């Protein structure tokens, strides 16, 4: 990494009710780069990201230790609103979309554009109309940025899961000052095809100078898209490496703290899968229960 890092987290620590969950974790991320954060469940990944995004659970339990710098400037992030003001966006593992709203309405939620009318001129700004053409234009621009080509006025309800994930990302990109995007397990619910499209979208974003923090259990994706890989275990930073200096097997062993068989590692290449059957199902008879006038068959 050359120049001032986009993000630096120095000696970050966190304790929940006497239990230490993060222990002096330090990492940095350059402009237009991808830092992947990997570790088993409970390793501290989500806590670290909650600190970065100023989530209420952090500050309601005593805050955290350490320092955060954005583009060389020390920042205090005490709420998600403050994180967004600083240009940090976060796509959570659970969808946060309103199914009854259109894509445009979801992308512009809480940032709606309005225009005046006669009624608002007489009775106040609260009676302004939504400027739907301008909102659609903004939503379209964010969707185009990640290659989502569907109609921006479609309702979210009924969209494929992959499209919903892209709408979540488009909503974050609509925040015009975005410079750092946190993606928390974004491919966990995606098909391989949709996951590949999302990785392509990540590359497009980094080419425009947006930095990405990528949390994933799919180690093949981590190796594919990362500039830096940080491994956490039991709240400690175990390793900071690059795809060129490591392998999926080595990352998995660092995550769990012991040597494991290659065949047990998620994200292994297809050629590592054995040829013999894992499961064989032979023909069997299925009984169907019917009521009253029906019978068992």
Read off the pLDDT of residues 140-198 as tens digits, 9 standing for 90 and up. 999 998 889 999 999 999 999 889 999 999 999 998 889 999 999 998 888 888 899 89
88 and 109 together in one domain: no
pLDDT surpassing 60 at residue 200: yes
Report yes or no on 36 lying in a domain: yes
- Binned at pLDDT 50, 70 and 90, residue 67 comes out as very high
pLDDT surpassing 90 at residue 203: yes
114 and 66 together in one domain: no
Q: How far is CA 193 from CA 88, 163, 187, 284, in A?
A: 27, 12, 10, 34
pLDDT surpassing 90 at residue 273: no
93 and 106 together in one domain: no
201 and 125 together in one domain: no
- Residue 56 confidence (pLDDT): 94
224 and 258 together in one domain: yes
Domain count along the chain: 2
Check: pTM over 0.85? Answer yes or no. Answer: no
Which residue, among 93, 263, 85, has the nearest Cα to 177 in the 3D structure? 85
- Binned at pLDDT 50, 70 and 90, residue 92 comes out as confident
- Residue 275 confidence (pLDDT): 54
Neighbours of 86 (CB within 10 A): 19
Report yes or no on 49 lying in a domain: yes
Neighbours of 207 (CB within 10 A): 9
215 and 132 together in one domain: no
255 and 112 together in one domain: no
Q: What is the arithmetic mean of pLDDT over 217-224?
A: 94
Q: What is the arithmetic mean of pLDDT over 207-223?
A: 94
Read off the pLDDT of residues 32-41 as tens digits, 9 standing for 90 and up. 999 999 999 8
- 10 Å CB burial of residue 131 (0-12, 13-18, 19+) is middle
Report yes or no on 285 lying in a domain: no
**Which residues are within 8 A (CB) of 126 and not within 5 positions of it... i.e. 6 or more apart?**
120
- Residue 286 confidence (pLDDT): 58
59 and 199 together in one domain: yes
- 10 Å CB burial of residue 69 (0-12, 13-18, 19+) is middle
pLDDT surpassing 60 at residue 274: no
14 and 122 together in one domain: no
**Which residues are within 8 A (CB) of 119 and not within 5 positions of it... i.e. 6 or more apart?**
127
- Residue 277 confidence (pLDDT): 59
- Binned at pLDDT 50, 70 and 90, residue 99 comes out as very high
193 and 204 together in one domain: yes
Report yes or no on 243 lying in a domain: yes
Q: What is the arithmetic mean of pLDDT over 237-259?
A: 92
181 and 63 together in one domain: yes
- Residue 287 confidence (pLDDT): 60
- Residue 291 confidence (pLDDT): 43
pLDDT surpassing 50 at residue 292: no
Report yes or no on 238 lying in a domain: yes
- Residue 21 confidence (pLDDT): 94
240 and 253 together in one domain: yes
What CATH number is attached to the domain comprising 16?
3.40.50.300
Read off the pLDDT of residues 22-65 as tens digits, 9 standing for 90 and up. 999 999 999 999 999 999 988 999 999 999 999 999 999 999 99
Q: What is the arithmetic mean of pLDDT over 196-220?
A: 93
- 10 Å CB burial of residue 128 (0-12, 13-18, 19+) is middle
Q: Which domain holds residue 120?
A: 98-155
- Binned at pLDDT 50, 70 and 90, residue 290 comes out as very low
- Residue 259 confidence (pLDDT): 75
Report yes or no on 63 lying in a domain: yes
Report yes or no on 289 lying in a domain: no
Report yes or no on 50 lying in a domain: yes
> What does the alpha-carbon distance between residue 60 and residue 155 come to, in Å, rounded to a whole number?
36
- Residue 145 confidence (pLDDT): 87
Q: Residue 152: which region, alpha, beta or left (left: phi > 0; alpha: psi -120 to 50)?
A: alpha
> What does the alpha-carbon distance between residue 162 and residue 159 come to, in Å, rounded to a whole number?
8
């Amino acid at each position: 990494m050359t120049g001032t890092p986009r993000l630096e987290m120095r000696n970050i620590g966190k304790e929940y009710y006497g239990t230490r969950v993060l222990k002096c974790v330090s990492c940095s991320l350059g402009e237009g780069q991808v830092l992947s954060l990997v570790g088993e469940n409970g390793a501290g990944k989500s806590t670290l990201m909650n600190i970065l995004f100023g989530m209420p659970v952090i500050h309601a339990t005593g805050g955290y230790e350490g320092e955060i710098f954005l583009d060389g400037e020390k920042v205090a992030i005490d709420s998600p609103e403050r994180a967004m003001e600083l240009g940090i966006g976060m796509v959570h593992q659970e969808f946060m979309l309103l199914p009854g709203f259109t894509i445009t309405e979801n992308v512009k939620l809480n940032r709606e554009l309005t225009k005046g009318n006669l009624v608002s001129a007489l009775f106040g700004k609260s009676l302004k109309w939504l400027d739907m053409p301008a909102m659609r234009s903004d939503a379209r621009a964010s969707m185009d940025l990640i290659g989502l080509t569907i109609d921006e006025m479609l309702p979210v309800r009924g969209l494929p899961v992959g499209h919903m994930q892209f709408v979540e990302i488009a909503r974050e990109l609509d925040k015009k000052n975005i410079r750092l995007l946190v993606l928390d397990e974004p491919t966990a619910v995606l098909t391989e095809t949709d996951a590949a499209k999302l990785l392509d979208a990540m590359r497009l974003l980094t080419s425009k100078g947006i930095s990405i923090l990528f949390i994933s259990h799919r180690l093949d994706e981590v190796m594919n898209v990362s500039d830096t890989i940080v491994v956490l275990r039991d709240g400690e930073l175990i390793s900071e490496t690059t795809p060129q200096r490591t392998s999926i097997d080595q990352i998995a062993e660092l995550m769990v703290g012991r040597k494991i068989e290659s065949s047990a590692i998620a994200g292994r290449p297809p050629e590592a899968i054995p040829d013999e059957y894992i499961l064989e199902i032979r023909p069997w008879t299925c009984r169907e229960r019917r009521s009253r006038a029906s019978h068992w068959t």
